């Protein structure tokens, strides 16, 4: 789906599909070099990181394994609830593995900080992060992102996997919604 298909809901496009693809290619080249002999396990947090994970792993030039985890830190709206719960766990044993977490966006950093600590607690040999988007102005918890994508302003974005109340995940690029779309949301 393109911006034009939902233009009545979109304020503006923030990251074009060309920009998304070029950042993913750049990071995939770096990761392919860094992990060539490490048999990495690539982990994505459902559902938002799925689009990034697929594009990213296709762009790698090394074989990897893939696993998923479903975490909940947000309700249906645009504000974090501040606590992380596991909705669906990994199927892989991470003990002794080199882990690369692929994230869609880092906002407060709470979800990622929790996940990095949890994977280390389970005995991972190393844990690094590729995050396509980052909102540094919103950071509450420090997280070390070895493979950073684009820094964006403090605006709620949708598209390329990111949703508002489960809508707009299948938008091909990343965009800011019109305020009218959120009207009536409880803060």
Query: What b/e sequence results for 72-82 when a residue is b if at least 16 CB atoms lie within 10 Å of its CB, and e otherwise?
Result: ebbeeeeebee
Chain residues 24-43 in contact with ligand 5GP, contact rule CB under 6 A = none
User: Judged by CB under 5 A, does residue 48 bind Mg ion?
Assistant: yes
Query: What b/e sequence results for 106-134 when a residue is b if at least 16 CB atoms lie within 10 Å of its CB, and e otherwise?
Result: bbbbbbbbbbbebbeeeebeebbbbbbbb
- Give, for 52, the enclosing helix (H) or strand (E): helix 50-59
Three-state SS at 174: strand
Q: Annotate each residue in 8-47 with x if it binds Mg ion (CB under 5 A) or - if it does not, as one string.
A: -------------------------------------x--
103 touches 69 (CB < 8 A): no
Give min distance, CB of 156 to ligand 5GP, in A: 4
Give min distance, CB of 136 to Mg ion, in A: 16
Can you read off the two tokens belonging to residue 17? 């599909």
- CB closer to ligand 5GP, 9 vs 163: 163
Most distant CA pair in the chain: distance in Å?
A: 52
In the residue annotation, 107 being an active-site residue is answered as yes
Q: Which does 159 bind (CB under 5 to 8 A by kind): Mg ion, ligand 5GP, none?
A: none
- The active-site residue, picked from 107, 142, 144, 154, is 107
Give min distance, CB of 12 to ligand 5GP, in A: 14
Q: Which residues of this chain interact with ligand 5GP, rule CB under 6 A?
A: 48, 73-74, 80, 103-112, 156-158, 162-164
Active-site residues: which are they?
107
């Amino acid at each position: 789906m393109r911006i034009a298909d939902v233009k009545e809901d979109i304020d503006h496009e923030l990251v074009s599909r060309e920009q998304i693809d070029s950042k993913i290619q750049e990071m995939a080249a770096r990761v392919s070099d860094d992990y060539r002999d490490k048999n990495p396990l690539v982990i994505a947090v459902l559902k938002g990181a799925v689009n990034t994970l697929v594009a990213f792993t296709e762009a790698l030039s090394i074989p990897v394994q893939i696993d998923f985890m479903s975490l909940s830190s947000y309700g249906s709206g645009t504000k974090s609830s501040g606590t992380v719960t596991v909705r669906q766990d990994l199927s892989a044993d991470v003990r002794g593995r080199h882990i690369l977490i692929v994230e869609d966006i880092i906002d407060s950093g709470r979800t990622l900080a929790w996940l990095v600590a949890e994977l280390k607690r389970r005995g991972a040999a190393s844990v690094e992060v590729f995050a396509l988007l980052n909102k540094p102005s919103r950071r509450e918890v420090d997280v070390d992102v070895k493979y950073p994508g684009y820094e964006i302003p403090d605006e709620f974005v949708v598209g390329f996997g990111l949703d508002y109340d489960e809508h707009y995940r299948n938008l091909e690029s990343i965009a800011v919604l019109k305020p009218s779309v959120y009207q009536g949301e409880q803060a």
